[in-house]
Structure 1
Amino acid sequence: MSNIVSKAGSFKKIKALLKVDESRLDKYLRFYAGEVLYEQSSEYPNKDFLTDTDREMLERYRRVFSMFKVGRTDEIIRSIICAEYKIEWRQARNIVNDAYYIFGVIGNADREGKKRVSIEYYRSLANLCAKNRDYENAGKLWEKADKLEGLFDLEASGLNPEDFKHAPTFVFTDNINILNQRQKALDLDE
């Protein structure tokens, strides 16, 4: 995506080329892409900037995302947003959904939030056990947290073990034309 954006120039130009209307969240995406300034600057007088209202909303979106990253569920986040900003439940739901759109939270946020809470819970318990010199249980709890985070999952190495089971065939020749053909084929592949 960043390669496409760099070729076209900006999100605004891409949307104009595609004849797509700019949504109310595009200014925040453009801000994170470096196309919009946080506030007006004398250095860049022709560049777009976020208004006071836009900056206030951006801070709300950042607050939602920070709560998500520490493991809060959607319901808890909405409750906190309602209380902090004295807004209605449906407004809080819209702010949470918008924040997830801006920061790219995909899938079930509640599941991810619960997973983060469990990981932090295990780590806290492990630290308490270590403080009480119960190192065996501390290690077990830390290992549980690591498993939840996926630290022990095997990563794909990109190598197929089947490729190494059969020995390659080498054919030796003194014909220079074959060497030239192979060299041209390699040059085309690059």
Structure 2
Amino acid sequence: MSKALTLKQAKALLKVDETKIEKYLRFYNDEILLEPDPQFPHKESLTETERTKFERIRRVFSLFDIGRTDEFIRSVLTKEYEIEYRQAYNIVKEAYLIYGIVGEADRVGKKRASINFYRTLANLAFKDKDYEAAGKLWEKADKLEGLFESEMQGLDPDDFKHPSTFVFTNNINVLHQRQKELDPDD
């Protein structure tokens, strides 16, 4: 996604009711348990219905992570859990909000699918002792993941190796001439 969204903007974009997913977010923050635990009787846990829904949300994320499109995920949910398309649509939206997948889910999913495909082919080539092909396929997967892209963090130290030259003058004509040189459109 090109720009970062706040949680409030993401909720508005997805039209998700915060109260419906609050417990799942609290689970990931270790504030509540998935199931009741006798060691922690005072700690809140998800109900049976919430655990069932949470399992569906996890299923959405697992399908997304292997590169399935939104449409495919919805069709899987409707068949596996025998639910209506509308309900599957809402589960997918909630899952994306919980796991932070807001925006171009289909594009990212297809990219993940390609990466997994190249990795699978590389493993098969390696198994067949075709090491050159395995290396090339693994490199393609790495390129898709962006592992070879340099991560620019902070300032470049080379920019500070050469001192700048400053010439001070009180002649206003020099200023006008420099401005014309810098902005040739005028």
The answer to whether TM tops 0.5 is yes
Shift of 1:48: 2.8
User: Which of residues 100, 109, 129 in structure 2 aligns to 1:104?
Assistant: 100
Shift of 1:83: 1.1
Residue 128 (1) aligns with residue 124 (2): yes
Shift of 1:46: 4.3
CA distance in 2, matches of 1:64, 1:120: 17
Residue 30 (1) aligns with residue 26 (2): yes
CA distance in 1, matches of 2:38, 2:133: 59
CA distance in 2, matches of 1:61, 1:39: 16
The answer to which of 154-163 and 44-53 deviates more is: 44-53
CA distance in 2, matches of 1:147, 1:83: 35
CA distance in 2, matches of 1:124, 1:27: 36
Greater length-normalized contact order (CA 8 Å, ≥ 6 residues apart): 2
Matched with 1:164 is: 161
Q: Deviations over 1:93-138 (max 9, x none)?
A: 1111111111111221101110011111112222233333433332
**TM-score using structure 1 length:** 0.69
Distance 1:82 1:123, change over 3 A: same
Shift of 1:153: 0.5
- Unmatched tracts of structure 2, length 5 or more: 1-16, 165-186
Matched with 1:146 is: 142
Letter in 1 for 2:109: G
Q: Deviations over 1:19-64 (max 9, x none)?
A: xx96111111112122222233455444432111011111111111
Distance 1:92 1:22, change over 3 A: closer
Letter in 1 for 2:32: V
Task: Calculate the aligned-residue CA RMSD, in Å.
Answer: 2.1
SS at match of 1:64: helix
SS at match of 2:79: helix
SS at match of 1:138: helix
Report the count of equivalent residues. 147
